[in-house]
Structure formats: structure tokens, C-alpha cells
Amino acid sequence: MPKQTVRDIDVAGRKVFVRVDFNVPQTASGEVADDRRIRSALPTLKHILERGGALVLASHLGRPTGDPAADAPFRMDRPAERLAQLLGCPVQKVSDTVGPEAQAACQALKPGGVVMLENVRFNKGEKKGDPAFARAMAGLVDCYVNDAFGTCHRDEASMVALPEQFSADRRAIGFLVEKELDILATLLGDPRRPYIAVMGGAKVSDKIGVIENLIKKVDRLLIGGAMTYTFLKAQGHEIGKSKVEADKLDLARGLLESAGAKIVLPSDHLVASAPEAGAATRVVKGGDLPADWFGMDIGPETAAHYGQIIHTAGVVVWNGPMGKFETEDFAAGTKAVAHALAKSPAITAVGGGESAEAIEKFGLADQVSHVSTGGGAFLESLEGKKFNSLAVIPDKA
């Protein structure tokens, strides 16, 4: 059932708490390195302001330790400044979350006004899901909107105990969460076929839950990235010095046996003499890699083959880079898959921290149907998990 959205609740003349996910990547000096998560919240924020509401925004940022000096880069000032630029109106950043400054600012807030609270994780009650902290936040506002998809898998106070403080007609999801849930409903349902999953990344162990859930639904699962070598070794191949999870060989073998022909492994590989820029590289065909070499990327034949499959798909979900793409020498496979998704007429969804980073870096993020803003939340959703933060939002009437 679709969830009640911000469209369905009364916001005119009200102070609306919007739990956003402004947990943005930061530069060494604490600047906003990538504002995608801030931009993604704009439709919800503009909608509330246009309907005569006022905004009280809260997010976490980074991993505060409780030491004020060390936590200074995790203050919400920079994200608030960026938001003000993007919204084109003032954003009043306060230096506490539920303290006197926040209370005074929220008290004085008028329709069209915007207050950004301090990092919710500066308060110990946030991670614990403390109801007293949730009640203090609820006291600042009239209603609640969850537009923090990237945090939906966390049972923190601002995600679960806070919405519980409001009557059902005052809780809703925002447009970003709605969009993420829509695409997930497609990916977890019975979509247009062929339905193709492309999976790569660092480890099989991180993705077991996703593979086990998706393999039941997809027509093909195309494998790349370092997890390739665990599968190849499980089949008895020589993998040289490539990354491998020696304790996951039985599991990989089990997946290959139960999935039959659905799992497609690379037919060629880019190997390097060392896992670093500038090392000697060559392409090898077949399942066996030369001893002493490192498997760093899928090869060109595999990239072309995966590209064809993606081009004729109905739906494609991609998680996990095809190689160590952060190093230009090993980026070709990931680039080829990203371009194939961009060109494919299929519904194309990309999720996962590094996968989203890759498609952004190649400048193709707006040429796929959806790039998820949630790394962990996207993967846990694909595993079939349900989140308490969404269970507390009523279904659409």
C-alpha cells in the first residue's frame, strides 16, 4: 500500500518537522562535497512552503563522538547555507536541537520561514530512539514528514519515536521517500521483463541478502567487481592474487548451484601486476587468471556482453561497481555498464554508496530512471526488509 504523503496532510499555517537526510559527503575542511541529498529534498520543502507551511528541518551528519571540538565539522551550518542558496530564501540555523535557541526560533517561526536544527546525533537520545528526546522535538512543531530515505533503516528517535508523537493525519512521507518506495515496489514486484540485476562491489558477504532475494525475481544476475573472484574460485578456477573471501566459497557454490544459468560471470578480466594506478595490465579470457596478477575489472568482451543484455532489458537494477573504478586504469568496466544503463530504454535503477558515486562521476546520473539516495537503506530494502520508520506512517486513505 502506498503511504500517506505530504500532499495528503494539512500544512497551511503549520510548522512542519521535516526529517531530511543531509548526511552529505564533506571535504577535508568540512565543506559540502556533494549536495545531491540536499537537492533531492527540495521538492518536498518547496511544496510545504508554497502551501503556506513553515519548515523545521533536522538531520544527522557524520559520526559525532560527543567531543564538541572534534564534532565541529558535523555541525549543520554548511548544509544549511547550501540549502539557503538552493531554496533562494533564508535558513535560520540554530545551535541546538531542542534547547532554548531551537525553542525560541520555532516559537517565532512564521509561514514561509525555515529553521534548521543542529545535528540530531549531537543528542545521545537520537541513536537510542529515546521517547523523551522525541517528545521534546515534537513540542517544536505541528506535524511530521519523513523525507530521509537514506536513514529509513535506522530506528533512531527522529525516525520512529518522533512520528509516533503525532496523530495519524499529521504524519507523512515526503516526495523523495515516495519516489524511492515507488522504484523499490517495481524492483521487488513482478516488473517488465527481462528483469536484469547487475551486481558488483567489494564483497559477496555484503550482498548475500540482496542476491538471495533478487535471484528469485530476476531473469539474469550479471556479476562483476571483486565478488567475481569468490565465485570463480568456488568453481575451482585459479584467481591469482585477486580479492577473495575464502570463508564464502561454499556459499558462492551454493548460490551458483541453486541459481542455475541465471548467474552470469565475466568471460574476460582486466588483470594488473599490482592493485594500483600505473601497474602493468592485460586482458585475460576465460575463468582462470594468471598467478601473481590481480583481477581489477571486468574485461571488454564482458562489458560488451553485459551492455547488450542491459540494452534489451525491461528493468535493470545495478548495485556495485564492476572494478576498482576509483583508479582510472580500472574504471572502464564500470563506465561501460553506466553508459549501457544510460542508453537503455529499460527502467534503470542504481543504488549503493559507491555505485551512486560512480554514475555521478561519469555524469550519467540524470540519464537513468533513478539513483537512490540511500546506500544501506536501498540494499536492505532489496533484501526484503521492512522499516519501522515507514511502518509508523499511515497508508494512503
Alpha-helix runs per DSSP H in the chain: 36-50, 68-71, 77-87, 100-108, 125-128, 131-138, 175-188, 208-214, 227-234, 249-259, 300-311, 332-343, 353-361, 376-382, 388-391
Q: Which amino acid is at 17?
A: F
For residue 203, indicate whether it is catalytic: yes
125 binds, among Mg ion, ligand ADP, none (CB under 5 to 8 A by kind): none
For residue 376, indicate whether it is catalytic: yes
Residue pair 291/237 in contact by the 8 Å Cβ criterion: no
Shortest gap between Cβ of 139 and ligand ADP (angstroms)? 38
Shortest gap between Cβ of 359 and ligand ADP (angstroms)? 10
DSSP secondary structure code for residue 260 in this structure = G
Phi, psi of 68 (to 5 degrees): -55, -40
Note whether 240 binds ligand ADP by CB under 6 A: no
Residue pair 192/219 in contact by the 8 Å Cβ criterion: no
321 binds, among Mg ion, ligand ADP, none (CB under 5 to 8 A by kind): ligand ADP
- Of the candidates 129, 240, 352, 374, which one interacts with ligand ADP according to CB under 6 A? 352
Note whether 354 binds Mg ion by CB under 5 A: yes
Shortest gap between Cβ of 227 and ligand ADP (angstroms)? 8
Report angle CA 139, 155, 205 to the nearest 5 degrees. 160
Stretch that binds ligand ADP, among 197-205, 256-264, 304-312, 386-394 (CB under 6 A): 197-205
Nearer to Mg ion by Cβ, of 154 and 171: the residue is 154
- Alpha carbons 347 and 317: distance in angstroms, whole number: 8
| Residues 173, 24, 91, 97, CA torsion sign | positive
Shortest gap between Cβ of 240 and ligand ADP (angstroms)? 11
Residue pair 383/209 in contact by the 8 Å Cβ criterion: yes
Nearer to ligand ADP by Cβ, of 37 and 171: the residue is 37
Question: Which residue is associated with the grid cell 582462470?
Answer: 288
Note whether 265 binds ligand ADP by CB under 6 A: no
Stretch that binds ligand ADP, among 85-93, 111-119, 175-183, 316-324 (CB under 6 A): 316-324
The three cell numbers locating residue 245: 573471501
Furthest-apart CA atoms within the chain: distance in Å: 69
Note whether 206 binds ligand ADP by CB under 6 A: yes
Note whether 319 binds ligand ADP by CB under 6 A: yes
Residue pair 257/234 in contact by the 8 Å Cβ criterion: no
Nearer to ligand ADP by Cβ, of 82 and 241: the residue is 241
Spot the catalytic one: 19, 37, 93, 233: 37
Note whether 321 binds ligand ADP by CB under 6 A: yes
For residue 112, indicate whether it is catalytic: no
Shortest gap between Cβ of 113 and ligand ADP (angstroms)? 37
For residue 37, indicate whether it is catalytic: yes
Show the site string, 355-374: x = touches ligand ADP by CB under 6 A, - = not: x-------------------
Strand, helix or coil for residue 259: helix
- Of the candidates 43, 131, 275, 353, which one interacts with Mg ion according to CB under 5 A? 353
Pairing relationship of beta strands 15-20 and 143-147 according to DSSP bridges:
parallel
Active site residues: 37, 203, 353, 376
Instruction: By CB under 6 A, name the binding residues for ligand ADP.
Output: 200-202, 206, 225-226, 243, 295-296, 319-321, 323-324, 326, 352-355, 375
